[in-house]
Structure 1
Amino acid sequence: MTDAPILITGGAGFIGSNLADRLAADGHRVRLYDALSRPGVERNLAWLRSRHGDRIEPIVADIRDATALAGAARDAKAVFHLAAQVAVTTSMADPRADFAINIEGTLNLLEALRERNDGTPLIFASTNKVYGDLADLDYQLVGDAYAPVDPTVRNHGIGEDRPLDFHTPYGVSKGAADQYVLDYARSFGVPTAVMRMSCIYGQRQMGTEDQGWVAHFLIRALEGKPITLYGDGLQVRDILDVSNAVDAYVRAWQRIDQVKGRAFNLGGGPANAVSLRQLLAHIEALVGRPVDVRYSDWRAGDQRYFVADTRSAEKALGLAPKVNWRSGVAELARWLAAERRLNLPIDEPLLQAAS
């Protein structure tokens, strides 16, 4: 193991801090590049420093600062690029900032590695939004959830062979960055891989209405505040515990010679597919009281159904079994209640049963 640091852009964020914790625990030096603009992430940074001390090197800077970013990447032995503008709603309000952060920021980092020309790998956090709103699929209602009529999609989910179809400025910017990352492997030999993520949840997630919705639902329920569902609440996502996501990122780095130039769909898969209404029912059981649910119009680019076909990632990366969504959400509820010092009761028998 060399003493060169591993660079994580967005390293104080939800996935970044969990990834940093794993890498530092494995004995690596970890350089966190983060603007600390998202509320709550400074607590993640403090937590990492308290656990790992000097193995954590923070750089507080913006991904749009090409000079600072090149300096941070100058001696990194690997790069995990998680820094991004992450909300569809924000991209609709300010497309220029979305473009500058997600496309220019990614290009800045790729150029820094291309100029090094020494085989430093980059693993990129992409999104299922690169597949668009999937409006061409036919759906049927099964209980309180949408299900695809196509049996292959229903049984396995959306595969990487699905045509790309960018929708909303966020979808365009993340999709363009996704393609830049893959092309730098083809055109310039930079060893890169792309993770097209479904909904990741878990400890250290500071969820908001626009991003991190599993944690957001839990926080609102724990605080006794109303939750707004956009659409009918029957839309389905496959949710993945952050520990499984971190393992996939680490394994992609470890196997970069075998997977460079490839994109993988990363999510909970069909076994962890859940509609918003089904998740809320589980949350109500955990907190022991009804949740005040309100409804509003569908939002731009929202998918009625997205479940990742994870077979390619599982085979190529040798991934461990996924955390069951019920037990994972129960553990997140426990962590959020403790982290926010909430005295509201969580149903301990249900927590134990879910685990």
Structure 2
Amino acid sequence: MNNQHVFITGGAGFIGCNSADHFLRRGQPVTIYDNLTRRGGRSNLAWLHEQHGGDHLRVIEADIRDYDQLAGAVAAADPAVVIHLAGQVAVTQSVIDPREDFEINALGTFNVLEAVRAHAPGAAVLYASTNKVYGGMEEVGIVQDGRRYAYADFAHGIPESYPLDFHSPYGCSKGAGDQYTRDYARIYGLRTLALRQSCIYGPRQFGVEDQGWVAHFVIATVMGRPIAIYGDGMQVRDVLHIDDLVAAYQAGIDRIDELRGEVLNLGGGPDNTLAIWSEFGPLLEELAGRPIAVNYGPWRPGDQRVFVSDVRRAAERLGWRPTVSPRDGIRRLYDWVAGNPELFGG
């Protein structure tokens, strides 16, 4: 039995429930702190209880914006590990309601760090940051390579040393959390690690059009719903399967003393990329066994032609590399969606 208690904010979400499943399988007690407003959260919790029962799993339905409640929960749990995943996740929603975005992502992250500083200062703290902290990157050269775009330079992807440029309220709020997480290691000695995540996908993801696009396309295909492609579909992203992400989390926890205060990119890197429709579309048609009709719309403001993470530093510092190919990972996701249509209104 591993008695290291793990406290996961946003633990009922896609990444959170898969992380909780990993730690529960290791015999570690887990506390999930989640306001349960995201679609799929309650079914994810039901799945965790089916898999593990309730002996080592505690769920607190609460909001990270409520510091007193959060601090009390952290104090009661006395965790060895805190994984901060709770957040407002969509750029589009941040533009519609920037105050809510700020309060959840910036203030909420500040609350988590303060709660740890006050009540669990020895805990390993992992923060789920985002590649959006690098901004629009309009100055980066892009070339067309067949049916996809590619960087003219940056053959290994965008490194952590690339200048930060917080476009959108979402970029600002997540970027604030990213920098607070880093600075709390420097100023207060917390054992923090900020992870700038790219496109994460896998089972138990309830993707929608403006967040979780891999799962959104798979769900729409299985359920026979329309798919809209903004731009020409040759935009390229690096994708990372949830199993590889959780493995990186575990490596970060295991090495937290040497990683304290660092920032790492976590994505599929150049070896795990997809053009969002010119390559993903044929793969989905192969899985579905039929043609898939899509509607094309204009480019959305700030939509990058390419984003690929340079993950060489993560490989070096974590002793980690992605192992699940996009083809294999998307097949697993497709099979999960097809096997659970009732979760998607089918």
TM-score range, shorter chain: over 0.9
Secondary structure at 1:219's aligned position in 2?
helix
Q: Deviations over 1:95-124 (max 9, x none)?
A: 000000000000011111112363222100
Q: What is the aligned partner in structure 1 of residue 62 from structure 2?
A: 61
Secondary structure at 1:177's aligned position in 2?
helix
Residue 142 of structure 1 aligns to which amino acid in structure 2? D
Q: Deviations over 1:145-171 (max 9, x none)?
A: 111111xx1x31111111001101001
2-structure distance, mates of 1:93, 1:213: 20
Residue 34 of structure 2 aligns to which amino acid in structure 1? D
1-structure distance, mates of 2:262, 2:303: 26
Q: What is the aligned partner in structure 1 of residue 50 from structure 2?
A: 50
1-structure distance, mates of 2:37, 2:302: 25
2-structure distance, mates of 1:287, 1:260: 45
Contact 2:207 2:216 in 1 (8 A): yes
Matches within 5 A, 1:1-355: 3=3, 5-53=5-53, 54-74=55-75, 75-116=78-119, 118-150=121-153, 153=154, 155-277=155-277, 278-340=279-341
Q: What is the CA-CA distance between 1:303 and the residue it aligns to? A: 1.6
Contact 2:74 2:119 in 1 (8 A): no
Q: What is the CA-CA distance between 1:70 and the residue it aligns to? A: 0.7
Residue 295 of structure 2 aligns to which amino acid in structure 1? R
Greater Cα shift, 180-189 or 316-325: 316-325
Q: Deviations over 1:293-331 (max 9, x none)?
A: 112222233221111111111111111442010111011
Contact 1:126 1:174 in 2 (8 A): yes
2-structure distance, mates of 1:2, 1:15: 21
2-structure distance, mates of 1:321, 1:235: 21
> Given the two structures, how large is their TM-score scaled by the length of structure 1?
0.93
Secondary structure at 2:264's aligned position in 1?
strand
Number of residue pairs matched by the alignment: 339
2-structure distance, mates of 1:115, 1:11: 22
Instruction: Report sequence identity in percent.
Output: 51
Residue 141 of structure 1 aligns to which amino acid in structure 2? Q
Secondary structure at 1:280's aligned position in 2?
helix
Instruction: Sort the Cα spacing of 1:24 and 1:216 in 2 relative to 1 into closer, same or farther, 3 A.
Output: same
Q: What is the CA-CA distance between 1:2 and the residue it aligns to? A: 6.2
Q: What is the CA-CA distance between 1:332 and the residue it aligns to? A: 0.5
Contact 1:193 1:259 in 2 (8 A): yes
1-structure distance, mates of 2:2, 2:222: 44
Q: What is the CA-CA distance between 1:272 and the residue it aligns to? A: 0.8
Residue 116 of structure 1 aligns to which amino acid in structure 2? H
Instruction: Sort the Cα spacing of 1:26 and 1:117 in 2 relative to 1 into closer, same or farther, 3 A.
Output: closer
Instruction: Sort the Cα spacing of 1:245 and 1:146 in 2 relative to 1 into closer, same or farther, 3 A.
Output: same
Secondary structure at 1:239's aligned position in 2?
strand
Instruction: Sort the Cα spacing of 1:283 and 1:117 in 2 relative to 1 into closer, same or farther, 3 A.
Output: closer
Contact 1:240 1:322 in 2 (8 A): no
Secondary structure at 2:181's aligned position in 1?
helix
Contact 1:117 1:190 in 2 (8 A): no
Q: What is the CA-CA distance between 1:4 and the residue it aligns to? A: 5.3
Greater Cα shift, 47-56 or 121-130: 47-56
Secondary structure at 2:281's aligned position in 1?
helix
> Given the two structures, how large is their TM-score scaled by the length of structure 2?
0.95
Instruction: Give the CA RMSD over aligned residues.
Output: 1.3
Q: What is the aligned partner in structure 2 of residue 347 from structure 1?
A: none
Contact 2:80 2:120 in 1 (8 A): no
Structure 2 spans left out of the alignment, 5+ residues: none
1-structure distance, mates of 2:12, 2:120: 27
Contact 1:236 1:304 in 2 (8 A): yes
Secondary structure at 1:323's aligned position in 2?
coil
Q: Deviations over 1:165-224 (max 9, x none)?
A: 110100110011100000000111111001100100001111111111101001111122
Greater Cα shift, 222-231 or 121-130: 222-231
Contact 2:191 2:256 in 1 (8 A): yes
Instruction: Sort the Cα spacing of 1:86 and 1:164 in 2 relative to 1 into closer, same or farther, 3 A.
Output: same
Instruction: Sort the Cα spacing of 1:4 and 1:316 in 2 relative to 1 into closer, same or farther, 3 A.
Output: closer
Residue 163 of structure 2 aligns to which amino acid in structure 1? P
